[in-house]
Structure 1
Amino acid sequence: MSNSYFQFKQFRIQQDKTAMKVCTDSCILGAYVRVAQAKQILDIGTGTGLLALMVAQRSQAQIDAVEIDKAAAEQATENVADSPFADRIRVHSSSIQAYSVRCRKKYDVVISNPPFFSNHLKRKEFSQNVALHSESLQLSELAIITSYLLEKEGSFIVMLPVHETNLLEAAAEEVNLYPYEKLHILEKYKGRQLRIITSFAFNPQPCVERTLYIKTLEGTYTPDFVSLLQPYYLYM
């Protein structure tokens, strides 16, 4: 693996032009989201195009990938063009706010690994600020925009840290979106919680909660993690 690219089994992610690189938690989200029956998928904040390409590998859906950062959008466009899924993914260099105004369709699945760490110190590099902080997209905006673009029976799947997950849940309830499934991602058994992947839908229902451990206490990947990422990672 190189810092400038990440090679998956069916596609490559070039990432030399973007601040945010391929990371384990994003790969978990891309592999986890259920898309087999989806016809239209929206990826909000696609970055390098990672999530769009991962879900394209497991579906026949048409995918719109929206990215506000111009350099990242250009890189995503290149990554999509070099993939086997170029005919089904369209990258939009735009804020999701502007895209939602001109969008004339609804989506079966909306996925996002959105800005977070809204109360943390800012990094010096602007593109990292856009990717890691919430100035460009408030969680309340994300909930409202998703409720507008999501099909009545659709699913909204989002990954955030614990505090931001709670904030999004409160915002989502205001637009009648309710969590029905949560995947708690932990670094290892008895380790710290990294992220929560929450699945939302319009109809309230009991929320099923599960935990994914990335590594065992011995430092090896857990069987659940291997099973999830095996379709993508070269070394599994």
Structure 2
Amino acid sequence: MKVCTDACVLGAAAELAAATRILDVGTGTGLLALMAAQRNATAHMEAVELEPQAAAQAAANAARSPWADRVRIHALSLAAFAATAPAPFDHILCNPPFFRHSLRSPDAARTTARHAAPDTLSFGELAAFAATFLTPDGQLTVLLPPPEMQHFEREASLAGLFVASRLILCHRPGSKPLRHVTRFSRAATAALSQPLPIHEEASEAYSAPFRDLLRDFYLAF
């Protein structure tokens, strides 16, 4: 799971301009941490990754990037990272494992990346961590399919985090939602929702909003 459209949308859409400390939970190959470093020229990025080979590749990718001095990879579980008592974060990003009931892949690493607890990270653990380690005005942005996001929203509210906005990713205008990119904060306010179609209505061409969002990251644009 090196790079996928979903994660690129999360990395490009998260509100990071005011952040000075950003955490990427389950960084994989470091995609979100590196996108955050590209978008915010002064913030420091921490990234945690449980799977050793992915963490090693993330560290190598960060070292080769122009932002090597601002990206730090931790080959740890989230619980182990929490035990280090990190300083609070202004923004936490996470594209968590989310397939709870579907068929496991024969590739163990792919299963770890895609499937939710008990294999790896539970939604409750992620929400509780964010509630503990976000600054008072900090934000958590999470990418999940709509059914799993409903589950995560319940866990987040129990931890004292509430939906601030939703970006609804779909194939085409009016089509079934594929993913929600949802931003959480400590303030309970009316949530704003916005659709983001990947393609134009009647063709395989990328939509104008999708191209505008990913322009700084997709070489084809």
TM-score class, shorter: over 0.9
Q: Distance in 1 between matches of 2:168 and 2:85?
A: 32
Structure 1 runs (4+) greater than 3 angstroms displaced: none
Q: Secondary structure at the match of 1:105?
A: coil
> In structure 2, what is the equivalent of residue 143 of structure 1?
127
> In structure 2, what is the equivalent of residue 51 of structure 1?
32
Q: Distance in 2 between matches of 1:54 and 1:104?
A: 22
Deviations 1:115-169 (A, max 9, x none): 1111111111111111111121111111111111111100000000011100000
Instruction: Establish whether residue 36 from structure 1 lines up as the match of residue 17 from structure 2.
Output: yes
Deviations 1:27-80 (A, max 9, x none): 111111111111000000000000000010011200001000000000000000
**2:45 aligned partner, one-letter code:** I
Deviations 1:66-122 (A, max 9, x none): 000000000000000000000000000000111011133100000000011111111
* 1:96 pairs with one of 78, 92, 111: 78
> In structure 1, what is the equivalent of residue 5 of structure 2?
24
Q: Distance in 2 between matches of 1:129 and 1:80?
A: 24
Instruction: Establish whether residue 220 from structure 1 lines up as the match of residue 220 from structure 2.
Output: no
Q: Secondary structure at the match of 2:212?
A: helix
Q: Distance in 2 between matches of 1:207 and 1:191?
A: 21
* 1:127 pairs with one of 104, 109, 120: 109
Deviations 1:194-235 (A, max 9, x none): 100000001100100100001012121111011001111111
Q: Secondary structure at the match of 1:109?
A: strand
**2:208 aligned partner, one-letter code:** P
Moved more, 182-191 or 159-168: 182-191
Identity of aligned residues (%): 38
**1:33 aligned partner, one-letter code:** A
Give the aligned CA root-mean-square deviation in angstroms.
Answer: 0.8
**1:198 aligned partner, one-letter code:** T
TM-score, normalised to structure 2, is 0.96
> In structure 1, what is the equivalent of residue 214 of structure 2?
229
Q: Secondary structure at the match of 2:171?
A: strand
Task: State the Cα distance separating 1:175 from its structure 2 match.
Answer: 0.9
Question: Unmatched 5+ residue regions in structure 2?
Answer: none
Task: State the Cα distance separating 1:192 from its structure 2 match.
Answer: 2.8
TM-score, normalised to structure 1, is 0.90
